[in-house]
């Protein structure tokens, strides 16, 4: 019996085989389909997908044979991998290389063998697709061509197996990476079904992905609005918003899982698409801001308490100073009167700050009352101009109304005046003497827009994104002259939104600013 030579590239060949990670794997129907087809086409009792390991040949698929492997020294396939084309033994009993081989002399009694080498992209022969019969046979050129094509199919399956392993490894690595993220991550597939929770998400929710309808997500995953009491409506669920094409930025929700303290999270999410634009699903990251919320609540409680405690004495001080300044209690020396007027101005500023703080607290808690009733915008604008002209006179600024035609809308007149006064006073403060500030309204598509326009210095670019934040004030050399509480625009924004509108601005540094409030018709 002749033992096959070892290929000259054996070490590299074995590395390529081991890299496939296919040895000793479970049977695979895709390989079995090929060997079954070959057995039918060639009418042979045995067909094998044989892979040549260091000391054995192992069968990934086998038809007509019970064993899974044999010694490499006995393997016909060890000879076949040395060839570049189909290796044929027509009658092993008459071939001196194989006549004494136990596989010929005993079960499975091989007489005919034809093996097509399985050669990978790097030229390594990993094994064979082989046909075995217990009687001598010959192969035609057409038979060889068919066997080669079937061998190509086997190589395709081997490539797919390798790609599948690579994909699984990438997914495992991705899972490890996702689980290492300190934020919670949830994702859905292209059908909107939940697909992925990383470790943090599983810990926060107390469960893993469940197969349930989107309408039940809030119930199953204990999702609430930021107030911690209102169950999150389906249309407000961040992952669904992202899935339907919205870019979710900074949405705060509350997760109240059983056995855990309420957790407030800030959500950021968007659709996932291929480079060609095909929808893959959506992903949302959730960052725990519970500690920040607790600090904000402590700050709010502190400000609320201090504001309420200060309001009564400040009102009394301000009223008392007015009585003294007006000399109701008797004449006051000029020097003392000047100092009392300064004290009165500062007490009024402090009173304004306290009132703003209380308004902000009410708006944040949703406790500010709004009385919506029919209002005429022309009358509201005229009233705002009249109330703020004395303040404008101090700066040498002229106020002008652009509209007089009546427009009826459902608004809270008192709160609208509060907003217009804030916008006008800001425009006045940042205008130069002799400048003009205008107030008007126009219809833009299906909404009414109220605008306050000035030609002042404009809002610095670096400050524009913070303009509506609480206590936000732009830096400036004359900031003391223009100082305020830093709450006016934050309060105005909350008031306008509470009345169903929205507020915004356009500003070019050095060219002025336009603040606008939009209300749907």
DSSP 401-466: E---S--EEEE-HHHHHHHHHHHHHHHHHTS-TT-EEEEEEEEETTEEEEEEEE-SS---HHHHTT
Nearest CA to 426 out of 469, 456, 398, 450 is that of: 456
Paired residues of 76 in beta bridges: none
Per-residue pLDDT reduced to its tens digit, 122-172: 999 999 999 999 999 999 999 999 999 999 999 999 999 999 988 888 888
Lowest pLDDT segment from 119-128, 233-242, 368-377: 368-377
Residue 114 token pair: 């034809």
Rounded CA-CA distance 483/461 in Å is 19
State mean pLDDT over 196-222: 87
Mention every residue, 6+ apart, whose C-beta is less than 8 A from residue 460.
474, 475, 509
Query: What is the pairing mode between strands 56-63 and 46-52?
Result: antiparallel
Both structure tokens of 277:
């634009």
Give pLDDT tens digits for 5-41.
999 999 999 999 999 999 999 999 999 999 999 999 9
- Amino acid 177: pLDDT: 86
- Rounded to the nearest integer, the mean pLDDT of the chain is 89
> Over the stretch 292-314, which tens digit does the pLDDT of each residue have?
888 877 777 776 677 677 777 87
| pLDDT number for residue 210 | 73
From the candidate CATH numbers 3.40.630.10, 3.30.565.10, 1.10.3720.10, 3.30.70.1290, the one assigned to the domain spanning 373-520: 3.30.565.10
CATH 3.30.450.20 positions along the chain are: 181-288
| Per-residue pLDDT, 171 | 82
* Rounded Cα distance, 13 and 490, in Å: 71
**Contact between 253 and 265 (Cβ < 8 Å):** yes
Q: Checking DSSP bridges between strand 373-376 and strand 398-401, what pairing results, if any?
A: unpaired
Sheet strands (E) in 95-246: 112-119, 125-133, 184-188, 194-197, 223-224
Please tell me the predicted confidence (pLDDT) of residue 100.
95
Length of the chain equals 521
Confidence at residue 147, expressed as pLDDT on a 0 to 100 scale: 97
d(CA 156, CA 164): 12
Quickly tell me which residue has 């005046």 as its tokens. Answer: 417
The least confident of 69-78, 327-336, 379-388, 483-492 is 483-492
Candidate from 39-48, 256-265, 275-284, 314-323 with smallest mean pLDDT: 314-323
What is 181-288's CATH number? 3.30.450.20
Report the relative pairing of strands 248-255 and 279-288 from DSSP bridges: unpaired
Q: What is the CATH architecture assignment of 293-365?
A: Orthogonal Bundle (1.10)
Domain with CATH 1.10.287.130 in the chain: 293-365
Mean pLDDT value of segment 39-56: 97
Top-ranked range on mean pLDDT: pick from 78-87, 318-327, 436-445 = 78-87
Instruction: Let me know if domain 10-167 sits in CATH 3.30.450.40.
Output: yes
Residues 6+ apart with CB under 8 A from 316: none
Identify the bridge partners of residue 448 per DSSP, sorted by sequence position: 443, 519
pLDDT of residue 44: 97
Residues 6+ apart with CB under 8 A from 322: 344
φ, ψ at 195 (rounded to 5°): -125, -35
pLDDT of amino acid 491: 87
What pLDDT was estimated at residue 476?
A: 47
């Amino acid at each position: 019996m002749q033992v096959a030579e070892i290929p000259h590239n054996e070490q590299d060949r074995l590395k390529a085989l081991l890299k496939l990670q296919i040895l000793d794997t479970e049977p695979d129907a895709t390989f079995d389909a090929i060997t079954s087809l070959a057995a039918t086409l060639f009418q042979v009792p045995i067909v094998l997908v044989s892979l040549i390991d260091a000391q054995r040949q192992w069968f990934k698929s086998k038809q007509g044979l019970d064993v899974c492997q044999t010694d490499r020294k006995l393997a016909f396939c060890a000879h076949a991998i040395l060839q570049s084309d189909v290796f044929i033994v027509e009658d092993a009993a008459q071939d001196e290389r194989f006549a004494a081989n136990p596989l010929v002399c005993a079960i499975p009694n091989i007489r005919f063998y034809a093996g097509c080498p399985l050669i990978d992209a790097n030229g390594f022969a990993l094994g064979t697709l082989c046909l075995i019969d217990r009687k001598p046979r010959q192969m035609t050129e057409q038979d060889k061509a068919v066997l080669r094509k079937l061998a190509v199919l086997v190589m395709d399956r081997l490539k797919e197996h390798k790609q599948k392993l690579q994909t699984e490894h990438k997914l495992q690595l991705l899972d490890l990476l996702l689980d290492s993220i300190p934020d919670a991550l949830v994702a859905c597939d292209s059908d909107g079904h939940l697909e992925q929770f990383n470790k943090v998400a599983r810990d926060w929710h107390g469960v893993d992905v469940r197969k349930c309808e989107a309408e039940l997500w809030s119930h199953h995953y204990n999702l609430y609005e930021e107030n911690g009491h209102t169950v999150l409506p389906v249309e407000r669920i961040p992952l669904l918003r992202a899935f339907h094409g919205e870019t979710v930025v900074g949405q705060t929700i509350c997760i109240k899982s059983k056995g855990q303290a309420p957790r407030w999270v800030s959500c950021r999410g968007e659709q996932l698409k291929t480079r060609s634009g095909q929808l893959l699903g959506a992903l949302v990251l959730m960052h725990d801001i519970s500690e920040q919320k607790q600090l904000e609540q402590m700050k709010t409680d502190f400000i609320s308490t201090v504001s309420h405690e200060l309001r009564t004495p400040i009102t009394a001080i301000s009223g008392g100073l007015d009585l003294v300044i007006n000399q109701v209690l008797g004449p006051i020396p000029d020097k003392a009167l000047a100092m009392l007027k300064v004290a009165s101005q500062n007490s009024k500023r402090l009173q304004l700050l306290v009132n703003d703080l209380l308004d902000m607290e009410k708006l944040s808690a949703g406790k500010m009352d709004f009385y919506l009733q029919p209002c005429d915008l022309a009358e509201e604008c005229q009233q705002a101009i009249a109330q703020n002209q004395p303040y404008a006179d101090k700066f040498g600024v002229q106020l002008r109304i652009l509209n007089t035609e009546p427009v009826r809308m459902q608004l809270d007149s008192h709160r609208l005046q509060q907003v217009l006064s804030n916008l006008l006073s800001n425009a006045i403060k940042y205008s130069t003497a002799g400048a003009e500030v205008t107030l008007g309204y126009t219809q833009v598509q299906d909404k009414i827009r109220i605008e306050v326009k000035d030609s002042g210095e404009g809002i610095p670019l670096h400050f524009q994104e913070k303009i509506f934040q609480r206590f936000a004030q732009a830096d400036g050399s004359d900031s003391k002259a223009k100082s305020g509480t830093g709450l006016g625009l934050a309060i105005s924004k909350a008031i306008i939104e509470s009345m169903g509108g929205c507020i915004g601005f356009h500003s070019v540094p050095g060219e002025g600013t336009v603040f606008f409030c939009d209300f749907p018709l």
